[in-house]
DNA sequence: CGGGATCCGCACGGATACTG
DNA sequence: CAGTATCCGTGCGGATCCCG
């Protein structure tokens, strides 16, 4: 970076205007679960138990391996899942939810249930809104 | 690569590898709540009742008016909140959660509680993970 | 006051190639 | 098999100006 410009200003602005919100735990948690693959990984591991890398990549069809690896790493870092390497040949890697990860998965499950119960209602609302333009 | 490029290939790929997941209601709902301002607006309107545009923009300090307006519009479109214009001078606009919006807010509240209960545990896990590099 | 319209940077995520 | 490294397009979101 040659000339220190926008990044600094934003970083500076953030601490002044966002001070009380950035301290809020719900804010930090949002950044975690708002990643669209997080909820999917949680759901996959929560409903089907421990799984290997290749199983997950097949289950979450459409995810690039970059995103899958990146998301798994951050979840491991947060202690929501464990990564176990078995030195077979070729190597076998298994991912499994921790107790902490399981507790979050249960909360997210309620959100999933809400979606299944109300999503069609939302869809109807959208059509109505779009038609009265 | 001048002719027929990436957008097409991706659009094509999407329908074949993502077919069953895109049908899943939880997937569509994710796109809604994964917007970081959605949860904040829900929380603000849920805990403090109906509020004006300027009140919301102050409460969610740091949000640009573009994002605030855009998010409010999409929530109104989905029937999660109502937008009421009172022809005073200058004009007064009030936003209020619908019953549907309230029901989602209650589910999101559980997520917020989880965050407040476990976020420090997550923070400890992160430090441990970072230290053993 | 409560927006709409426009311009634009950059960071997020996809695609590809290579490795132990 | 389970990644790492790299390049690169684009779309999200911030900044700015203007309007009823």
Phi, psi of B80 (to 5 degrees): -90, -20
Beta strands in B21-124 (DSSP E): 51-52, 81-86, 92-97
Q: How much is the mean pLDDT over chain A?
A: 85
Check residues B88 and A33 and name the one with the higher pLDDT. B88
Q: Residue A88 — very low, low, confident or very high, per pLDDT cuts 50/70/90?
A: very high
- How close B24 gets to chain A, by Cα (Å)? 8
Q: Residue B17 — very low, low, confident or very high, per pLDDT cuts 50/70/90?
A: low
pLDDT digits (tens, 9 = 90+) for B93-126: 999 999 999 999 999 989 888 988 998 999 999 9
The pLDDT value given to residue B88: 94
Q: Which residues pair with B82 in a beta bridge?
A: B96
Assessment of whether the complete model's pTM goes beyond 0.85: yes
Q: Residue A21 — very low, low, confident or very high, per pLDDT cuts 50/70/90?
A: confident
For the cut 90, the answer to whether the pLDDT of residue B76 exceeds it is: yes
Contact between the CB of B35 and strand D at under 7 Å: yes
Closest by Cα among B46, B34, B110, B109 to B74 = B34
The pLDDT value given to residue A23: 72
The pLDDT value given to residue A95: 98
The pLDDT value given to residue A87: 94
Q: A132 to chain B: nearest residue by CA?
A: B77
The pLDDT value given to residue A27: 78
CA distance A77 to A86: 19
CB atoms A103 and B119 under 8 Å: no
CA distance B30 to B21: 12
CB atoms B62 and A18 under 8 Å: yes
Q: Which residues pair with A83 in a beta bridge?
A: A95
| CA Rg value for chain B | 20
CA distance B31 to B15: 17
For A113, the token pair is: 């249930």
For the cut 70, the answer to whether the pLDDT of residue A111 exceeds it is: yes
The DSSP-derived string for chain A is --S--HHHHHHHHHHHHSHHHHH-HHHHHHHHHTSHHHHHHHHHHHHH-SEEHHHHHHHTTT--HHHHHHHHHHHHHTTSEEEEEE--SS-EEEEEE-HHHHHHHHHHHHHHHHHHHHHHHHHHHHHHHHHT-
Within a 13 Å sphere around the CA of B101, how many CA atoms are in the beta-carbon half?
A: 28
Q: Residue B58 — very low, low, confident or very high, per pLDDT cuts 50/70/90?
A: very high
The pLDDT value given to residue B64: 94
Q: How much is the mean pLDDT over chain B?
A: 85
- How close A62 gets to chain B, by Cα (Å)? 6
Phi-psi region of B4 (alpha: psi -120 to 50; beta: other; left: phi over 0): left
| CA Rg value for chain A | 20
Find the Å distance, CA of residue A92 to C1' of nucleotide C8.
46
The pLDDT value given to residue B16: 57
Q: Touching check for A116 and chain B: CB below 8 Å?
A: yes
The pLDDT value given to residue B4: 40
Task: Tell me what the mean pLDDT of segment B38-50 comes to.
Answer: 94
Count other C-beta atoms under 10 Å from residue A56's C-beta. 21
A92-97 and A51-52: which strand pairing? Answer: antiparallel
pLDDT digits (tens, 9 = 90+) for A52-84: 999 999 999 889 999 999 999 999 999 999 999
CA distance A60 to A66: 13
For the cut 90, the answer to whether the pLDDT of residue A26 exceeds it is: no
């Amino acid at each position: 970076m040659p000339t220190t410009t926008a990044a600094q200003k934003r970083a500076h602005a953030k601490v002044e205007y966002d001070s009380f919100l950035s301290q809020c735990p719900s804010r930090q948690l949002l950044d975690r679960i708002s990643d669209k693959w997080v909820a999917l990984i949680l759901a996959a591991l929560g409903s089907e138990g421990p799984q290997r890398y290749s199983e997950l990549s097949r289950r979450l069809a459409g995810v690039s391996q970059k995103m899958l690896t990146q998301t798994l790493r951050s979840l491991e870092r947060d202690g929501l899942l464990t990564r176990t390497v078995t030195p077979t040949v070729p190597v076998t890697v298994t991912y499994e939810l921790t107790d902490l990860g399981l507790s979050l998965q249960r909360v997210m499950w309620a959100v999933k249930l809400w979606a299944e119960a109300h999503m069609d209602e939302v869809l109807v609302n959208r059509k109505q809104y779009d038609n009265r333009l």
